[in-house]
Structure 1
């Protein structure tokens, strides 16, 4: 299968490319390295050192026998996207080429507009390029469980049956995102659903939970790390807790710590996306997959890292509760469904505790590097202070 990965230089894009190469697919890449520049702009860097994509690609040739054909450019540029799709004529496109940070989108008006325009435009460019050039191709779009928000009812996979005033229908589940970034993902989903209705494009819309971890089979085999962000803008809570434990800082929980989300490991995220590519939707089908393994509160994650670090290293990190910089429910009901991937054959590889042990082991090799990034860990982006700048 010819597969184009838009955003191939990212945390998920690069290990996904290696997995697909390992399985014999023809992989193509597109990126403009904007995440590297944005992370640098907030004074941070990947906690795991990563090579340039050129050097990564050179080493992939040594391991897999050939390089990935790569296209440098901006997915929000329609001419560029059309040229790439025309040249490759892919069987499937994985769209990861979006600004992926909720805090970044909440810094101020400039960052909010950039997130809105770039993210929504890139998806529209892809929709039209596929429609005009290879309408039979499969679009796999990485969305987020954050599109749903935290409703006080169970969350289905995309659609649910509703009765109102005596009439019944199957409708898209209402979305209630918590940042400008998450709203762009909602708009992407709506646009993809509409494109499917009008042009019968085959779409998989993945509502992915929070991804954690440093390992995949291919990372172990090649020694090529993917990026791992820990700062308050681009890092996740679990990444931050792991880094803080390693450099003897308190684990910084926002608010009460009752915020609950779905989580899955990097290896299992790659497994799920590969499965969705190799078992595509039917022609003209729009399908939604909720992609996560387990749900945990932020407080539970901090306690898990605390316990694991004490067991592995004999030191018990302190847990510190900070004023929550975000506007969100800190205690809430959370029960999303996630049956479809299991019905397609997905089985998780490791439990979260094992993945945390592996992450601590990998990150501990770069303790000095993490220590030098410690100034980026504390919250500086406050939802209510977002302003024109």
Structure 2
């Protein structure tokens, strides 16, 4: 029998290569009783015991054993912390992960609900208190989700103690102020967004390092880190290949073009991830997500006590949900500027599915930060307005744009990584529009119509233009719609610098 091939262990910055030849004598007895051992069987028998000496962490042994066997292990039950699990994306994701059999604990300080009070605008859907939600989930499914009231940005000691105690397999990080308009509202909101988002992310990273925990961090980022100008080509997933002065080739993080304070915090998050990945070997996946639309998933729709929130206001209501709310009310759809902004979209149910895919496909210790573009398709805003307008017989009204951004842009986005993992995106279609409109119609009496209009402006110039202009902007000339399930391209009438929505 020949010797098996060498096994190379990547232990952060140390490569260890060794052969199993020294152990051959001890296997002669086994060989006489079991027959000739193939190199593959030899490796599988010996690897677990030897590797336990070189790699003390269970995760390292498990992942390496799987790679030696020739493939990844089947998904197993994991202990998962969902930071920000009471929010718009966090709540349905928590239910999805619990339904898949994972041990889920939500960590939240209910800050999003407090912002409702600040803005004087509640969720359109009457969302239940976390205690009621979690009790209903356990009653309906027999599955329990834990809850810890912790401010991730302020209560570092409690966060660190929880991570050290629970030693989760994965941490899903939603615990950030998520609205670009809110982050531009005023100095208070700008400072809060930076303090909460950047400090919170850094606290999570530091706590994982101090606990010596091998948790896989899955972060909800944004497509906005790339900017929404005309790139002239497909936006890759996180990294680009460049040639440095002198001719050396390198792979670097895609340049950041944030278009709001909120998007800037996500860019700063990305730099923190790069540092802690290289310095401390943390396993991190950053999901650059498109605009989320929809409200419920099949799990949140099981019972009224499980309903997800539906934001329709000018600060937190995403463009498609705002249009559907206005259509349900029979009032004109408010399109900002020319409506020529092309954006990436994803349904709320797909957000939960993609996060599970990311959790089940973590990077290994020593690998770079994994970055996915978490998008289903791209559409031009005015094309969406046209579609909803034709469905509902409600006209569109073009208003001055409160944002500092390009009037028109192309957007060509790669989402091959999730596609390669079996992701089948939910696309914008009439049936799902109808589903969201049913929710909007059911609870329309809870809607404050004036809250749908923009209430935050990117700078003084935009604020003056929006407040002084009472007449609608004339609608632009029609151009062919830009629709794609993996990328999109829309014509740009003028050169546009990178800008974000």
TM-score bin, normalised by smaller chain? over 0.9
Work out which of the residue numbers 176, 193, 198 in structure 2 matches 1:120.
198
Task: Give 2:391's aligned residue.
Answer: 308
State the Cα deviation string for residues 296-330 of structure 1 (Å, max 9, x = none): 11111111211232xxxxxx101000000010012
Question: What is the 5 A alignment of 1:1-12?
Answer: 1-12=78-89
Shift of 1:199: 0.7
Aligned residue for 1:141, secondary structure, equals strand
Of the three residues 271, 291, 299, the one matched with 2:353 is: 271
Q: Which residue of 2 aligns with 1:337?
A: 414
Q: Deviations over 1:101-142 (max 9, x none)?
A: 111111122211111111000000000111121431100010
Question: Is contact 1:102–1:233 with CA below 8 Å preserved after alignment?
Answer: yes
**More relative contact order, 1 or 2 (CA 8 Å, 6+ apart):** 1
- In structure 2, relative to structure 1, the CA distance for the partners of 1:218 and 1:350 (3 Å cut) is farther
Give unpaired runs (5+ residues) of structure 1: 310-315
Return the TM-score normalized by structure 2: 0.73
Structure-1-length-normalised TM-score: 0.94
Which residue in the other structure is 2:148 paired with?
71
Tell me the residue number matched to 1:280. 362
Which segments of structure 1 move beyond 4 Å, counting only runs of 4 or more? Answer: none
Post-superposition offset of 1:279 = 1.9
Q: Which one of the candidate residues 243, 249, 261 is aligned to 1:180?
A: 261
Q: Which residue is equivalent to 1:244?
A: 326
Equivalence map 1:101-180=2 (5 Å): 101-151=179-229, 152-153=231-232, 154-165=234-245, 166-180=247-261
Extract unaligned runs of 5+ from structure 2: 1-77, 464-501
The count of residues paired between Structure 1 and Structure 2 equals 379
**How far is 1:349 from its partner?**
4.0
- What is the alpha-carbon distance in structure 2 between the residues aligned to residue 295 and residue 69 of structure 1? 36
Residue 165 of structure 2 corresponds to which residue in structure 1?
A: 87
Q: What is the RMSD computed on CA atoms of the aligned residues? A: 1.5
Deviations 1:173-192 (A, max 9, x none): 10101000000000001101
Alpha-carbon deviation of 1:164?
A: 4.6
Aligned equivalent of 2:375 = 292
Alignment check: 8 A CA contact 1:6 1:95 kept: yes
**Distance (whole Å) between structure 1 residues aligned to residue 228 and residue 321 of structure 2:** 22
Aligned mates of 1:140, 1:283 — CA distance in 2: 14
**Structure 1 residue 253 and structure 2 residue 253: aligned?**
no
Change (3 A) 1:87 1:296: same
SS at match of 1:262: strand
Q: Which moved more, 1:377-386 or 1:286-295?
A: 377-386
Deviations 1:210-266 (A, max 9, x none): 010123121233442111100001111111111111111110000000111110111
Q: 1:87 Cα deviation (Å)?
A: 2.5
Say which SS state the counterpart of residue 217 (structure 1) adopts.
coil
| Worse-superposed segment, 181-190 or 57-66 | 57-66
